[in-house]
Amino acid sequence: MKNAIADRVADFLKKFPPFNMLEHDNLTEIAKEVDIVYLEKGDTIFKKDTPFNNHFYIVRAGAVNLHHNNNEQNNIVGINDVGDIFGIRPLIIQENYKLAAIANEESIVYAIPIKRFKKVSSTNVKIHKYLITAFASNTYDPYTAEENGKIFVDYLPNTSLDIANFQSANYTKAPITCYENSTLKDAAIKMQEHKIGCIVVVNKDKHPVGMVTNSDIKNKIATGQFPIKTSVTNIMSSPIITDKKDITVAHAQLQMIQHNIGHLCITKDGTANTRLIGILTHHDILVTLGNTPSVILKEIKRAKKNKTLRSARIKANTLLKSYLEQNMPLSHIVKVISKINEAVSVRAIELAIKKMKSPPPTNFTWLSIGSQGRGEQLLFTDQDNALIFNDVLPEQYDKVKLYFLDLAKRVTKSLNKIGFEYCEADMMASNPEWCKSLSEWQEQFKSWIFNPNEKAILLSSVFFDYSHVYGDKHLTEQLTNTIYQSIANTSLFFKTLGKDALKNPPPLGFFKQFLVEQNGDKKNLFNIKSKALMPLIDAGRLLALSKQIKEVNNTYERFEKLSALEPNNKELFDSCAYAYKALLKFRTKQGLQNENSGKFIELATLTKEEKLKLKRCFKPINEIQESLKLRFDLKI
């Protein structure tokens, strides 16, 4: 006899991973044993540190929050929407829950029996890969729920290597060492005898204190900076980065990228205060994983032609796509792609300088602005950049500026060949307006701040989001100090910037319908950039400037910083951060899927669940805009 309830459950489950990877009969078998749980707002499904039960869960309707503790008012890790799975820990390892799950509103949840699910999926490799990725990354929501800083993985088509990301890394368990009182000559002889490229310096208790590499010997001894019999402590790299013996390949890779190192010291407790027990090298990671972000970065740094840089950047797009397919945390995706984009720009500048007839006549710095400056440019879109050069004597100015304009034209041309389109508004360093001396830039920003007309605000929305890419960082810091000293002495600028931040209302109409384009070739398409992302970008920038938050340009990181600074508004700022990450991830997926910028979305192509998730992300836009009206006394 047909089971109508089980059929409805199966029809729902088959829309979402990992259930969409099951055969129909297996899915029906699971659906028959699913428990349907009805929840009121505040109801708890499971508590932190309690024993695991025999189910994991998927949200059928409503939303479920995950918390760091059992108090529903604090420490929200993420929000699970329709189709999101959670409580997956007991499916992977039999261990107490590490988070609490509490209904955010009236909700319906399907409880999936673990025993039955394991039985029907035991031989399904795709499901295995999906679940171990979801578990290891602590993210269950393909758009919104994620916890920062937990995992960093690479996707490879070989399943065994996928799983290797989450297993302990293989490291050398008998590293060659020397003591602090050793001479460099003694250490070099040891390195030669053992045919190694580095040696760890330890103290009398065998705690690691530094590392000497072939590069150190080349740069500090061969150049005559130190004599061959100098103490190893004079040339070693210190402090060193350490970790525990059970470090995963994924985490080791993150450490190496973050600290720009090729070696990790493994100690008894993971700190430099205990005995050295091993060493993990970049080569060890590459042998295991093959093509990784580290490999792409190395390819970029060694590139001699734009063609090679383009090839490396295309590889990054493939990496981006695979990360999204695995539902990797957006925070990690952004860091990796931003690092690659930055490396591409740096190498393009280096190659351009080599082609110039002479070296730069004075110090300069290259800035990324706009989405690049915020570190949010995941897709191939247009380039936005600027150049600051050191102040020079008046009689030298014209010649110096011509040099840097020539250099900038070479760089922007290279970036265009690599795949970054020219900016339609010509906001590039090759434009004389955006290639200026430090004092000119300082005066330019003062003008925008103290005379905030419509054009000034338009340019502010791009140029106040900048980051140092190449050159003399001190010039960037001087400009930043000037900006923050200036904005501390005006309230008019914030009011004008605030009104501009409200120019795009929440993207839903009175009847909760999407506000789409009304005219032109984009008619009836939804502009996710201007209608959803920009209101959050503008609000985050305005609040960060008003709070004097320096060196935090990324939109969701700005909201996370604001959340820490204003506990009373923590819920609002956290929801803005989650919404922004969700929307950026959604746009990126759309762009990759349709091979465009992902800016305009055809709503008819979205599922009901995708539309629901988008609408849920729009709620914080209305709330943050209402907050801006009160905070800056904006009468619209």
For residue range 541-563, list pLDDT tens digits in order: 999 999 999 888 899 999 999 99
Q: Where are the alpha helices (DSSP H) in 328-453?
A: 330-355, 370-373, 394-418, 438-450
Q: How high does pLDDT run on average in the chain?
A: 84
How much is the pTM?
A: 0.59
pLDDT at residue 597 in the model = 82
* Cα–Cα distance for residue pair 132/166, rounded to 1 Å: 8
| Residue 219 burial (CB count, 10 A) | 12
Give residue-wise pLDDT tens across range 304-346.
Answer: 899 989 988 888 887 788 778 767 778 888 888 888 999 999 9
Q: Which residues make Cβ contacts (< 8 Å) with residue 223, sequence separation at least 6?
A: none
Q: How far apart are CA 275 and CA 298, in angstroms?
A: 32
Residues 6+ apart with CB under 8 A from 464: 483, 541, 545
Centre a 10 Å sphere on the Cβ of residue 325 and count the other Cβ atoms it contains: 15
**Cβ atoms 346, 367 nearer than 8 A:** no
Residue pointed to by tokens 């106040």 = 464
H-type helices in 451-552, by residue range?
454-463, 473-487, 492-501, 528, 534-546
Where does the pLDDT of residue 148 fall: very low under 50, low under 70, confident under 90, or very high at 90 and above?
A: very low
CA distances from 148 to 77, 137, 261, 388 (A): 9, 9, 22, 34
Can you give the pLDDT at residue 108? 92
Contact assessment for residue 553 and residue 373, using Cβ atoms and an 8 Å cutoff:
yes
Q: Is the dihedral of CA 459, 460, 466, 470 positive or negative?
A: positive
Q: What is the C-alpha to C-alpha distance for residues 265 and 245, in angstroms, rounded to an integer?
A: 9
The C-alpha atoms of residue 338 and residue 94 are separated, in whole angstroms, by: 37
377: Cα within 13 Å, side-chain hemisphere: 27
> Shortest CA distance to 283 belongs to which of 198, 211, 209?
198
Distance, in Å, from the CA atom of 564 to the CA atom of 567, rounded to the nearest integer, reads 6
φ and ψ at residue 86, rounded to 5 degrees:
-150, 175
Question: Does residue 135 register a pLDDT over 60?
Answer: no
pLDDT reported for residue 152: 27
Question: At 10, which amino acid appears?
Answer: A
Q: Enumerate residues 6+ apart whose C-beta is below 8 A from 498.
A: 542, 628, 629, 631, 632, 634
Q: pLDDT digits over 462-500, tens only?
A: 888 999 999 999 999 999 999 999 988 888 888 888 888
Residue range 66-79: mean pLDDT, rounded: 66
Give the span between the Cα atoms of 285 and 294, in whole angstroms.
Answer: 9
Q: Which pLDDT score, from 0 to 100, does residue 259 have?
A: 76
The Cα–Cα gap between 483 and 494 comes to 13
Closest CA to 611 of 535, 499, 532: 532
For residue 175, the SS3 value is coil
Tokens 């001479």 belong to residue: 183
**CB within 8 A of 527, min separation 6: which ones?**
516, 517, 599, 600, 601
H or E segment to which residue 367 belongs: strand 364-369
Q: CA Rg, the chain, in Å?
A: 27
Of the ranges 137-141, 251-255, 564-568, which one carries the lowest mean pLDDT score?
Answer: 137-141
Mean pLDDT on 387-413: 97
pLDDT at 453 over 60: yes
pLDDT of residue 364: 97
564, 562, 577: which is closest to 631 by C-alpha? 562
Q: Which helix (H) or strand (E) holds 103?
A: strand 100-103
- Neighbouring residues of 82: CB distance < 8 A, sequence distance ≥ 6: 59, 60, 61, 62, 63, 609, 612, 613
Specify the pLDDT at position 140: 33
User: Of 243-247, 411-415, 515-519, 581-585, which one has max mean pLDDT?
Assistant: 411-415
Q: Which of 229-238, 246-255, 534-543 has the lowest mean pLDDT?
A: 246-255
CA dihedral 336, 340, 345, 349 (to 10 degrees): 130
Given a cut of 90, is residue 409 above it in pLDDT?
Answer: yes
Task: Assess contact for 136 and 165: CB atoms under 8 A.
Answer: yes
**Distance between the two ends of the chain, CA-based, in angstroms?**
62
Instruction: Quick: pLDDT tens for 1-36.
Output: 567 888 899 999 988 888 888 888 889 999 999 999
pLDDT of residue 64: 87
